[in-house]
Amino acid sequence: MRVLIIEDEHRLAGTLADIVEDMGYTATIRYDGHQGLDEALSDVYDAIVLDVMLPGLNGFDLLKTVRSEHIETPVLMLTARSELTDRVRGLESGADYYLTKPFETLEFQACLRAVIRRKGAIIPETKQFDDLSFSLSDGRLSCNSHTLLLSAKEKEIMSLLFLNPQTPVSKETLLTKVWGYDSDAVDNNVEAYISFLRKKLQLLGSRVQITSRRRIGYCLEVGEK
C-alpha cells in the first residue's frame, strides 16, 4: 500500500510518514499544494493524507481538482480547524474522513485504515490462492505448514499480485506502486524481486507460480508440483 502525505509542516509530515511505515505501508511526502496535486493526479496511491492549509494551493481546492479528474483515491483530510462549516466543506470537496489536529497516533491509524477500506468490501488481512496463503499485514507467505517472511518490497509486489490473481500486473505498475513515481528504479529491479519471490514459492513447495506474460506483466497461476 502506498500513502501520499501532503503536509507543509515538515516535522508533522515526517512523524506521519513514520506512523504510516510502522503500519506496513509506504509513505511519500509532498510539502505544498501544487506538488501534492501533481502526485495525487498520478493515481498510483492507495490513500492520501491531506492537510487543508497548504502553500500554493489549499487542500479543499486540491481535492476538488483530483475528484474532477475522476480519481477516487480515499482521502483523509487533516486540519487545525474544528468548525462544523470547515468539516462539511472538506467532506463536500470529496474527503472520506476529516480529522482535526491534534490527534492521537492510534486515532490516525484507525482513520487511515478506515479510508483505505472505503471502497467495496473490506479486504481481508489474509488472502488465499490455491495452496498459498498471504498475510497483507505482516507479509507472511505460507503453504501448508511452511511460512516465509517477505521483505518490504517483496510484500508490496505480492500484495499487488494477490489483489487480482491471474490478472497480469505490468512492470510499469510495479515500478510506480512499489518504488515510487519519481524513483530511479528500472525494469531490472522488478525482475530481480520477481526472481526472489519465485525462489520463495519453490522453497514453500507451493503449486502457485509467478508467470510472465510477454509485454503484459506478471500474474499468479497454479501449476503442477
Residue at which a domain ends, from 77, 92, 116: 116
Q: How many CB atoms lie within 10 A of CB 212?
A: 13
Q: Are residues 13 and 93 in the same domain?
A: yes
**Which grid coordinates belong to 199?**
525462489
Q: Are residues 169 and 65 in the same domain?
A: no
CB 158 within 8 A of CB 194: no
Q: What pLDDT sits at residue 96?
A: 84
**Residue with grid cell 470537496, as numbered in its chain:** 93
Q: If you ran DSSP here, which 8-state letter would residue 72 be given?
A: -
Q: What pLDDT sits at residue 136?
A: 76
Q: If you ran DSSP here, which 8-state letter would residue 151 be given?
A: P
Q: Are residues 140 and 107 in the same domain?
A: no
Q: Are residues 6 and 42 in the same domain?
A: yes
**Residue with grid cell 507472511, as numbered in its chain:** 140
Q: What pLDDT sits at residue 120?
A: 45
Q: What pLDDT sits at residue 163?
A: 76
76 by DSSP, 3-state: which?
strand
**Residue with grid cell 470547515, as numbered in its chain:** 86
CATH number at residue 43: 3.40.50.2300
Q: Are residues 161 and 194 in the same domain?
A: yes
Counting Cβ atoms within 10 Å, is residue 27 exposed (0-12), middle (13-18) or buried (19+)?
buried
Amino acid making up residue 132 = L
Indicate the average pLDDT of the chain. 87
Q: Which domain holds residue 63?
A: 2-116
Closest listed residue to residue 221, CA positions, set 135, 131, 152, 154: 131
Residue 121 in any domain: the answer is: no
Tens digit of pLDDT for each residue in 148-167?
A: 999 988 988 998 898 778 78
CB 40 within 8 A of CB 71: yes
Per-residue pLDDT of the chain (225 residues; tens, 9 = 90+): 889 999 999 999 999 999 999 898 889 999 999 999 999 998 889 899 999 989 999 999 999 999 999 888 999 988 876 555 666 666 677 788 888 887 888 889 988 988 887 654 445 567 899 999 998 777 899 998 999 999 988 988 998 898 778 788 899 888 877 887 667 889 999 999 999 999 999 999 999 999 998 888 999 999 875
Residue at which a domain ends, from 116, 150, 165: 116
Pairing of β 2-6 and β 208-213? unpaired
Q: How far is CA 169 from CA 24, 148, 161, 166, 190, in A?
A: 21, 23, 7, 9, 11
Q: Are residues 78 and 142 in the same domain?
A: no
Quote the CA–CA distance of 149 and 160 in Å, as a whole number.
Answer: 17
Pairing of β 47-51 and β 75-79? parallel
Quote the CA–CA distance of 19 and 25 in Å, as a whole number.
Answer: 9
**Which grid coordinates belong to 89?**
466543506
Q: Are residues 11 and 95 in the same domain?
A: yes
Residue at which a domain ends, from 87, 116, 145: 116
CB 219 within 8 A of CB 161: yes
Structural domain total, the chain: 2
Q: Are residues 100 and 7 in the same domain?
A: yes
